[in-house]
Structure 1
């Protein structure tokens, strides 16, 4: 009996290959650089110091009053004469704060205040000028009759009698009047210097009469006591 042998191809159990896990990449090792760390610390510290300095500089200032233009002694201080500025605090300075603006306007300058100069308690006064018992006399002087240097309010001067135009001799003992400068101005018509001085009431008449003749000269004395 012939039979067809069928080879049973019974599949055996399949052997599966295990899956290969992906390679795990190790994280890179960080290298510490001490120099960079130190530099970062220094930069941070400098930033803190600069910030502290800027804050201190901005807070250690004060707003004060200063003259916008030159204010001559005896002049009434007007709002347009003043300006508010910021300055660093200095224990050696005692400027008027900007809050005193309304109190100063309307007062008289007690001394000459140059352009940009700071105002202090001594800069202004509400007293009348001239003071009681004093008189202000204006004297017109040619360049030859006055020192070739600026005169300022408060300067101590003498007005001395000089010989007349006809050659009248001056007295053996020069006659003079002690005075104090209030202000000066230039006469644009003649070019003369007009000096306003304050003198005792009793001397005002004689000085005004002598000044009218032009036979006077003004000398500047030391202000030292």
Structure 2
């Protein structure tokens, strides 16, 4: 009887004991790892802000300068070298201008009227200060003579207004033997070629058929008629004087 009672008691204790779920046993849960915060560096932050601000400022300056426009003088119509400039010859335009480009500010337009073109001015081109002069290319006591020469009577280097040249009288193949050419003053030349100093005022376009070019030159008034007579024979040639020559 006592053994039966002990068996019932053990069975009851086993039934009363709490049941645990099957499966692998888990150990103690580790505490979450604390993320270490990075240390802030105020100096580095300030430097970054300064660089960003400088980049934005430089970009703004570049944009502003690229969009900046300047009112300048442009040529409204062709003006031959040596001609007086009128108000109708000039116009103004607003352009974005590189500082290296030579130009005339639009505020000086009125001051340019009455001056002379130092070189041929082409319509639509930007006017440069060196293209305008207050002096005539034909000085007092000078005459303007047009000298027509063939390509073989000119240097290959293009002539420019203001350039100094020598006009050489070439032998006349039809002249009688023993006769010599005369210079602008009418004196005989001997064996040396006769030359006359002149200044280029304008250079024409080559003729389509022959390639001949008319060069306007300024010479002393006393030599103008003789040079015109010599030029009519076609027996002349032009020699360019050295740039540093007199």
Shorter chain as denominator, the TM-score bin is 0.5 to 0.7
| Count, aligned residues | 192
- State whether structure 2 residue 70 is matched by structure 1 residue 87: no
Alignment of 1:197-216 (within 5 A): 197-216=217-236
Alignment gaps of 5+ in structure 2: 1-36, 181-189
Match of residue 169, structure 2, among 154, 161, 166: 161
Task: Give the superposed CA RMSD.
Answer: 3.8
> What's the CA shift for 1:51?
1.3
Shift of 1:124: 2.8
SS in 2 for 1:202: coil
Q: 1:172 aligns with which of 180, 191, 199?
A: 191
Q: Does the 8 Å contact 2:162/2:200 carry over to 1?
A: yes
Q: For the residues of structure 2 that align with 1:81 and 1:148, how far apart are their CA atoms?
A: 33
Cα distance in 1, alignment partners of residues 227 and 104 from structure 2: 38
State the match for 1:27 in structure 2. Answer: none
Question: How far apart, in 1, do the equivalents of 2:243 and 2:173 lie?
Answer: 32
**Structure 2 counterparts to residues 16-31 of structure 1, below 5 A:** none
Matches within 5 A, 1:1-225: 41=49, 42-55=51-64, 62-67=70-75, 71-78=79-86, 79-80=88-89, 84=93, 85-89=95-99, 95-112=103-120, 116=125, 118-120=127-129, 123-125=132-134, 130-166=138-174, 171-186=190-205, 187-188=207-208, 190-225=210-245
Is the 2:66–2:96 contact (alpha carbons within 8 Å) kept by the matching residues of 1? no
Superposed CA deviations along residues 188-225 of structure 1, whole A, max 9, x for unmatched, are 46431000000111110111110011011111111214
1:94 shift after superposition: 6.8
Alpha carbons of 1:208 and 1:222: their partners in 2 closer, same or farther (altered >3 Å)? same
DSSP-derived class of the 2:222 partner: helix
Query: Secondary structure at 2:160's aligned position in 1?
Result: coil
TM-score scaled by structure 1? 0.67
Change (3 A) 1:63 1:156: same
1:201–1:34 CA distance, 2 compared to 1 (3 A): farther
C-alpha contact 1:64 1:87 (8 A) present in aligned 2: no
- Structure with more of its chain in helix, by fraction: 2
Q: Deviations over 1:83-134 (max 9, x none)?
A: 53442446xx874311122332453213455784642277132x55633211
